[in-house]
Chain A
Amino acid sequence: MQSGTGLPTRRQLLSAIAAVGGTAALYQAMTSLGHAAETQFTGPPNLTGARKGASVIVLGAGLAGMLAAHELTKAGYKVQILEYQDRAGGRNWSLRGGDTYTELGGATQKVGFAPGNYLNPGPWRIPHHHRTLLHYCKAFGVALEPFIQFNHNTWIHSSTAFGGKPVRFNAAAADFEGNVAELLAKSVNQKALDDAVTPEDRERLLEALKGWGMLDKDYKYASNLRSASHRGYDRPPGGGRSGAPIPSALYDFHDVLDPQVWTSMAFFMGHEMQTTMFQPVGGMDMIGKAFARQVDGLVTYNAKVSKIAQDDRGVAVTYADTQTGKVTVAQADWCVCTIPLGVLNQIETQVTDAMSAAIAAVPYSGQVKIGLEMKRRFWEEDDSIYGGHSFTDQEIALISYPNNNLFGNGPAVLLGAFAREMGAYRLAGMTPEQRLEAALQQGSILHPASYRKEFSNGASVAWSRVPWTLGCCARWTEESRKEHYQTLVTMDRRIVLAGEHASYVGCWMEGALLSSIDAISQLHKRALEA
């Protein structure tokens, strides 16, 4: 649109588009785009010249903690990491056959996946613009492969549309766009937009709507080969005597306007959901393991921190060995604390009242993931679905198909739930066995012929019950950001916080790493000034 068109005209155009049914999609698209922000990564920190003998305690061996330890060690600091678990990586985690996981409340699962299969309970996909993470993956030798984020051939399922039957993403999306294009073209042709758009742009707009919406010569979206080339055919083009394609019937517009359709489409507009995305070859924890190799020998495992004290001379961290009960006080000049806020809030920590208030002010989300091992890749063999996500309005929210070993024989693990909010609470409140039953019941709506028949075994992680985080991700609001964020991320005398919670890239590994870089930059500056 020409800038000379001016704001009122633009607003009228938007209103007109909204009036014909595209409001929500437009809104979603624009807010997503408006909030889009590239990573702020400009390269690894260049910290040098630490004072001889200066020491740092890092709390937490997740990505933020291990990056801090790695870079501070390079800068010349003596670093010790304390970790509550018996493994490094934090939320960067994969469950494989033979693993045992005990959640809060005591329910224990023994994972039965076949060799090579895994569930990533936490992070599972990496946007192409998360440059910090990609930088360190390359630097630390982590092999990445494409994560198939967007697949036109998956299912969209809504309990309130299409008779409750799943429909193909491409068909529903095509019908949404085609109908919106037809209605907007109608508005133009009925001269409803004459005040809003110049005559020249009206022609350009009509041409765009016809091309984008697969409209016919009369600006109608109809069942024909043109719409079928977007939404799919009843009989696709072939060879020989039955080669001629047969178009498919359109869905009812009322069903197409079900919010499950446009929200599934809008999902991919979000900056962080845009392709290309990546995953590590062999499971997400390949990243955590690569980071752990960089800080080999620095980590004390099974360390439960009970007190973080500081005075003019240094920091003192009291921790108990969770295996032996032995209590130790570790001392250092400085501290990088990456403990999730919900846990840190329960630890006696000597920081300012404002910092204490900030730590207490941020609640956590409680997503649930369920991995289901199936005896064969029926989604590939029967449905031509190779990676990507099917969306459903049931508690499980989606089914996501594996991105590796395509066309493989033998068992494969699909993600049978990535639940959030009320759906997650519901699933988290169940026993692991009940969760699997719920996932099978709900997933069977999308894959009725095979889901139960091919099921072999499964595992679930309800983040609200994960013993070392009590939640998945920090949930900031605009209000809490305004009141507490700067306090939380600013070094408090000798202690500085890091982690996804100390970033604007919350819930992503990138945020943990960016916050870690800022934290150690503050620490190093202060250490040199001291």
Chain B
Amino acid sequence: MTLRLPLALAALAVAVAAPALAQTPAGGDTGGGVVRVAKPVTGQQVYEAVCAACHMADARGGTGAATIPALAANPRLAGAAYPITVVVNGKGAMPSLAGPLDDAQIAAAISYVRTSFGNAYSKPVTAADVARIPHPARGGGH
């Protein structure tokens, strides 16, 4: 039996299955099931739960075959537009985090980094600032 899913039903299924769960992305080798992770809220919480995976707990990044840039003492953070653009759109190996994180979480994380790790750019970034940067269509998989 070959069945093609009508679009309307597909849309319904996505809507039904859309609670804040990290579901198995299409394609690739993956663990299956759903994962529920406590939502980080403050800038420091978001940094530790997400950003530190690559940029390290001390925000110094690292270098191997290529470099994960340091966020510590980074003059490119002086203006907020650059870090917002990078977090929203991704850059190179770094994926877009618009989707996994909402605008308020992104704003909190950027505000935290811009006032920590040897950075002193005190003007907070707001969710509205993040929302002004065009967000990519949410994609996943491989």
B5–A30 touching, CB < 8 Å: yes
B90: Cβ under 8 A from any A Cβ: yes
Considering the complex, which residues of chain A in the window 402-460 have a beta carbon less than 8 Å from any beta carbon of chain B?
Answer: 418-426, 428-429, 431
Cβ < 8 Å to A, chain B residues 105-142: 136-137, 139-142
Interface-forming stretch among A242-250, A376-384, A391-399? A391-399
CB-defined contacts of A27 to chain B, threshold 8 Å: 5, 9-10, 13-14, 17
Contacting pair B64 A24 (CB below 8 A)? no
Q: Chain A: which residue is nearest B138 at the CB level?
A: A477
Tell me the nearest residue of chain A to B93, going by C-beta: A342
Interface string of A465-497 (1 = CB under 8 A from B): 111111101111111100000000000000000
Quick check: is A264 within 8 A (CB to CB) of the other chain? yes
Q: Which of A18, A104, A263, A478 contacts B12 (CB 8 A)?
A: A18
Contact flags A338-369 to B (C-beta < 8 A → 1, else 0): 01111101110000000000001001111100
Using C-beta atoms within 8 Å of the partner chain, give the interface range for chain B: 35 or more
- Cα A508 to Cα B30 in complex, Å, equals 11
- With A24-B16, A420-B22 already in contact, the answer to whether A104 and B29 are too (CB < 8 A) is no
B81 at the interface (CB under 8 A from A): no
Question: Chain B 1-32 against A: per-residue CB contact (8 Å), 1 yes, 0 no?
Answer: 10111100110111011010111111111111
Could you tell me the distance in whole angstroms from the C-beta of A253 to the nearest C-beta in chain B?
A: 16
Confirm or deny: A274 has a beta carbon within 8 angstroms of a beta carbon on chain B.
no
For residue A109, give the distance in angstroms from its CB to the closest CB of chain B. 15
Q: Which residues from B are CB-within-8-Å of A429?
A: 48-53, 57
State whether the Cβ of A139 lies closer than 8 Å to any Cβ in chain B: no
- Min Cβ gap A213→B in Å is 18
In the bound complex, CA of A45 to CA of B6 (Å): 41
Q: Which residues of B contact A158 (CB under 8 A)?
A: 34
**In whole angstroms, how far apart are the Cα atoms of A158 and B19 in the complex?**
15
Distance (Å) between the CB of B64 and the closest chain A CB? 3
Closest CB of chain B to A220's CB: distance in Å?
A: 26
Q: Does B56 contact A (CB under 8 A)?
A: yes
Taking the closest CB of chain A, its distance from the CB of B66, in whole angstroms, is 4
Of the candidates B27, B63, B91, the one whose C-beta lies within 8 Å of that of A104 is B63
Whether A462 and B53, one on each chain, are in contact in the complex, defined by CB atoms closer than 8 angstroms, is: yes
Identify the closest chain A residue to B137 (Cβ).
A479
* Bound Cα distance from A393 to B19, whole angstroms: 13
Decide: A423 and B37 in contact? CB cutoff 8 A. Answer: yes
A163 contacts chain B at the CB level, 8 A cutoff:
no
Interface flag for B62 (CB, 8 Å): yes
A35 at the interface (CB under 8 A from B): yes
Query: B139 and A418: CB pair below 8 A?
Result: no
Once bound together, how far apart are the Cα atoms of A426 and B49, in whole Å? 4
Known: A104-B63, A425-B53. A471 touches B34 (CB 8 A): no
Q: Is B75 an interface residue (CB 8 A)?
A: no
Q: Find out whether the CB atom of B6 lies under 8 angstroms from the CB atom of A23.
A: no
Expressed in whole angstroms, the Cα–Cα distance for A252 and B23 within the complex equals 23
| A104 lies within 8 A of B95 (CB) | no
B104 within 8 A of A: no
In the bound complex, residues from chain A placing their C-beta under 8 Å from that of B25 are 420-421, 475
Q: A24-B16, A263-B23 are in contact. Are A364 and B95 (CB under 8 A)?
A: yes
Give the interface centre of B35, B52, B91, B92 by most chain A CB atoms within 10 Å.
B35
- Tell me the B61-77 residues at the A interface (CB within 8 Å): 61-68
Select one of B13, B19, B35 contacting A394, CB under 8 A.
B35
Given A14-B5, A424-B53, A462-B53, is A476 in contact with B65 using a C-beta cutoff of 8 Å? no
Whether A465 touches B53, Cβ cut-off 8 Å, given contacts A304-B65, A420-B31, is yes
Residues of A with C-beta under 8 A to B136: 479
* Shortest beta-carbon distance from B96 to chain A in Å: 7
Q: How far is the CA of A26 from the CA of B62 in the complex (A)?
A: 44
Query: If the complex has contacts A18-B13, A475-B95, are A465 and B62 also in contact, measured as CB distance less than 8 A?
Result: yes
Give A294-334 interface residues, CB cut-off 8 Å to B.
304
Chain B neighbourhood of A398, CB < 8 A: 31-33
Q: Which residue of B5, B65, B95 is within 8 Å of A84 (Cβ)? A: B65
| Complex Cα–Cα for A471 and B60 (A) | 18
A393 touches B54 (CB 8 A): no
- Using Cβ atoms and an 8 Å threshold, which residues of chain B touch A18? 9, 12-13
B92 contacts A360, C-beta separation under 8 Å: yes
- In the complex, the answer to whether A477 meets B137 with C-beta atoms within 8 Å is yes
Q: Kindly state whether residue A389 has any CB partner on chain B within 8 Å.
A: yes
Q: Is A267 an interface residue (CB 8 A)?
A: yes
Q: What separation, in Å, do the CA atoms of A477 and B136 have in the docked complex? A: 11
Ranked 5 nearest A-B pairs via Cβ: A342-B93, A467-B64, A477-B139, A506-B142, A267-B32
List 14 other contacts, CB 8 Å, given A27-B9, A467-B63, A470-B68. A159-B36, A259-B21, A272-B29, A340-B93, A342-B66, A343-B65, A343-B66, A343-B93, A366-B53, A420-B25, A429-B50, A431-B57, A470-B64, A473-B28
Pairs A–B under 8 Å by Cβ, sample size 11: A27-B5, A84-B64, A104-B61, A106-B62, A259-B17, A389-B31, A395-B35, A420-B30, A467-B63, A477-B137, A480-B139
